[in-house]
Structure 1
Amino acid sequence: MSKILVTGMSGTGKSTVLVELASRGHRVVDTDYHPEFEEAVPTQDGETEQLWRPDRINALLDGHRKGDLYVSACVSNQGQFYPKFDAVVLLSAPTAIVLERVETRPGNDYGKNPDERQEIVRYIDSVEPLLRQTSTHEIDTQVFVGEVADQLEVIAEASRGSAG
């Protein structure tokens, strides 16, 4: 039983690979699409940011008892939960590919307007390096989604082997 955090910038394939992992029978939680795990918190500049709700994330992670669990997120307070994960996997792709993906993906409008695209580029430049420093693994998602899922399964299997 492994708990794997799948993180990365918008457009790197987090949601897509979780769908693939779910089709293989794994338990997955994409916190972007399960609002009970996140809350909007005011920032100093008068905006809001989405953060994980500690009570809900702790309950999810502490209550997981069977099989592998893959959780997807990119929120600024996720680091406080890293000790509860067996691996933290950064998904990455070149900026041009990320921008093409967000432009053409169905079901998610984020990244379709120029301001959001500029924001994504800023996050790739400023946030992704921080995630890279704190991740245990990185997967380049320029490959087919099945290959990314295969790599995540290998990471989960390896973490099970090292845990006990």
Structure 2
Amino acid sequence: MASVLVVGGPGAGKSSVAEELRRRGLRSVDADFVLARWERPDGSPVPFPAEAPSMEWIQRHRWHWVAERVDQVLAESPLVVCGTAANMGDYLARFDLLILLQVDELTMTRRLSDPRRTNDFGKSKATLQWSLDWRPQLEAEMLAAGAHPVDARQPLAAVTDEVIHLATTAGIPLPVAKDTY
């Protein structure tokens, strides 16, 4: 069985691609809702603050994937997992294809500040600044890990088409969804 991981900084379009793949009837997982949680340095879960978090809070906590959840999801491969976490490097070898959604700073800022956006991360000054600071590092690390870059400034349909094309070209069948996460 084979799985695809679609990564990118906040606002790159990962959740939108996961939703579009599901809309097209393909199996995908939005890691933000299924795999990840905020954690303290000791690994214990911590709720995201109701009020916009400070930069200090963001730097003291980590958005991590939970190993048991990753195991459960990947047991049902092939599928596309869309998401990013501070510890995702621990799991990259479990994916057969790595795709990086790339956006520039202007696009990221515009998307994160869009009032229609349902994810609050990136809407406050601290989370926006953290996102802008992290994007170049994340992109460099993922490209070094062999990620296939996709220009995520394109319309969603074109980005999703490219994800499907890359998976197909890599010989990874994307099955019709039996269930949703």
TM-score (norm 1): 0.85
Map of 1:21 onto structure 2? 21
Map of 1:85 onto structure 2? 95
Instruction: Return the offset for 1:76.
Output: 2.0
Instruction: Return the offset for 1:54.
Output: 1.2
- The RMSD of aligned alpha carbons is 2.0
Instruction: Return the offset for 1:9.
Output: 0.1
- Unaligned 5+ segments in structure 1 are none
Residue number among 156, 159, 170 corresponding to 1:159 in the alignment? 170
Letter in 2 for 1:124: R
% identity of equivalent residues = 26
Residue 5 of structure 2 corresponds to residue 5 of structure 1: yes
Map of 1:59 onto structure 2? 72
Pairs aligned (count): 156
Is the 1:90–1:131 Cα contact (8 Å) retained in structure 2? yes
Distance (whole Å) between structure 1 residues aligned to residue 18 and residue 119 of structure 2:
15
Distance (whole Å) between structure 2 residues aligned to residue 112 and residue 50 of structure 1:
17
Is the 1:11–1:98 Cα contact (8 Å) retained in structure 2? yes
Matches within 5 A, 1:112-151: 112-151=123-162
Report the secondary structure of 2:170's partner residue: helix
Distance (whole Å) between structure 1 residues aligned to residue 156 and residue 72 of structure 2:
29
Higher helix share: 1
Is the 1:2–1:156 Cα contact (8 Å) retained in structure 2? no
TM-score (norm 2): 0.78
Instruction: Return the offset for 1:10.
Output: 0.2
Tell me whether 39-48 or 2-11 shows the greater mean CA deviation.
39-48
1:12-48 per-position Cα deviation (integer Å, ceiling 9, x unaligned): 11111111111111111111122xx224332289822
Distance (whole Å) between structure 2 residues aligned to residue 15 and residue 135 of structure 1:
21
Higher strand share: 1
Runs of 4+ aligned structure 1 residues displaced above 3 Å come to none
Letter in 1 for 2:36: E
